[in-house]
Structure 1
Amino acid sequence: MNSSKKADYGNWVPRKLMNALWGVFLGLLFLAVLNALLWRNSAAALLLGAFSALSLAAAAYMQYCRRTVDLRGGGLSGKFYDELLDHLAWQGQGRLLDIGCGSGALSIRCAQRFPAAQIIGVDYWSGVWDYSQKQCEENARLEGCDARIGFRHGDAARLEFADESFDAAVSCFVFHEVKTISGRSKRPVVEEALRVLKKGGSFAFIDLFGRSALYGDMEEFVQRMKDSGLREVNYIPRAGAAFVPALARPMMTSGVGLLYGVK
């Protein structure tokens, strides 16, 4: 492992978003100053003042969220990973799939938690987040576990694996972002993840399961999965909510839940 360089896991709150938010605030502030110096329009002053204050509040809040979830220094994202893996009933023998691996952080944590496992991380790697396959591979190399991890481009809604290919499957805050399915419901993404899991394999997923617009009634969904033949299905609403209550807002992690069990 190269100790002179540290892995770069990025952040759940993209730098591009922060640049845009602060850019909007500075733009509005500039217009407000121009109005005060040149135009001196009282109505414009009120509007620009109000929008400037709102944009400042939004940028400051998201900056706080970015700092809070940062994996470095024991941030919130790492706590979610630990909670997820603590509920994965798996001994680490065989193959594990990380769906939506992003920068490789959860895949690498799985490799560290399960030293005998082979890990595959898949991601769509869209331009929204500052993540890439090259970044994942470099992070795995720096953490000294690249021999047991492979990364590939993939669509969580249409995984390019045969039925029952993996002994375990994990995913953290990914399913709600999948845009390649028709309709708003994200249940098909969960079902696709379970399709590639072997009978008797374990799974643990964290997502915005509490948002009915995305998943409907979770009690009904859990019962439906049990009726389909899954050996064990458990759901914990508001998983991780005690970590940072200030993140429980519609923009961030309200509705977060942990779905786990055995196929």
Structure 2
Amino acid sequence: MKPDYGNWIARPMMRTLWGITAALVLATLLCALLIGRDTAYGVLLVLSLMSLLAALYMTYCRHVLSADGGGLMRRIHSALIDRFPWDGRGTVLDIGCGTGALSIALAQQYPEAHGVGVDLWPPMWDSSAEQCVRNATLEYVRDRCSFVQGDAAALDAPNETFDAVISNFVFHEVRTQKDKFMLVIEALRVLKKGGAFALHDNFENRDLYGDINEFIDILKEEGISDISYLPHTEN
């Protein structure tokens, strides 16, 4: 039995996309049979083709991301861990752990570490705490991984709880806090002084984070003395 780490392009999203495509194709065929190839048929045909192309493209992207396909998700996690300035001793918080892939990878990388994964696990992402536990069990790190439901905007932990904090491409998806800067502040609130952190997100998106250099300056004013930004990690 193999772990199931799912995909960042979730199954419910793909079912919806292919369902819309099927409905448009059916409507196009019915229009051609019952009404004829008029303007409505032309519009439906164009929409059907656009939807089909979108569905095929997203299916390809899903394959590239998957562990059994292109393995891009695993490579992104590996790159993030490689840049994680942590010695692997203590407890690390994985914010937005999803299916537990990053938490488990950290436990495998650091035999002295204990990983705590937190997520809301909304239905649209097709993941759960039970899935995380099952994956950790199959990867033989269940005794060093814990998974709890929680909100990245209001972490259920006292100040300076964790030795390290990590998060991969999660903050832009959080709906309970529009100010993404506050999500970073909340993540750092639960980090022990001198602890390590690695936060990966759309930091160059000005609509979300504003000017990244100003953002870093503010964090330094908040007392974060050692902070660096690595741009264009998607390349």
State the match for 1:238 in structure 2: 232
Q: 1:111, 1:148 within 8 Å by CA — same for their partners in 2?
A: yes
Q: Separation in 2 of the partners of 1:119 and 1:142?
A: 16
Return the TM-score normalized by structure 2. Answer: 0.97
Q: 2:63, 2:70 within 8 Å by CA — same for their partners in 1?
A: no
Q: 190, 197, 205: which one pairs with 1:196?
A: 190
State the match for 2:124 in structure 1: 128
Q: Residue 19 of structure 1: SS of its match in structure 2?
A: helix
Q: 1:73 to 1:38 in 2, by over 3 A?
A: closer
Q: 1:185, 1:213 within 8 Å by CA — same for their partners in 2?
A: no
Task: Report how many residues are paired.
Answer: 235
Q: Residue 236 of structure 1: SS of its match in structure 2?
A: coil
Q: Which amino acid aligns with 2:207?
A: A
Q: Separation in 2 of the partners of 1:33 and 1:46?
A: 11
Q: 2:64, 2:70 within 8 Å by CA — same for their partners in 1?
A: no
Q: What is the deviation of 1:185?
A: 2.6
Structure 2, unmatched stretches of 5+, are none
Q: What is the deviation of 1:160?
A: 0.5
State the match for 2:208 in structure 1: 214
Percent of aligned pairs sharing the same letter: 47
Q: Which amino acid aligns with 1:220?
A: E
Counting only pairs closer than 5 Å after superposition, residues 148-163 of structure 1 correspond to structure 2 as 148-163=144-159
Structure with a larger share of its residues in helix: 2
Q: Separation in 2 of the partners of 1:87 and 1:223?
A: 21
Q: 1:200, 1:231 within 8 Å by CA — same for their partners in 2?
A: no
Q: 1:172 to 1:159 in 2, by over 3 A?
A: same
- Structure 1 ranges of 4+ moved more than 4 A: none
Q: What is the deviation of 1:73?
A: 4.7
Q: 1, 22, 29: which one pairs with 1:26?
A: 22
Return the TM-score normalized by structure 1. Answer: 0.87
Q: 210, 216, 222: which one pairs with 1:228?
A: 222
What value does the CA root-mean-square deviation take over the aligned residues?
A: 1.1
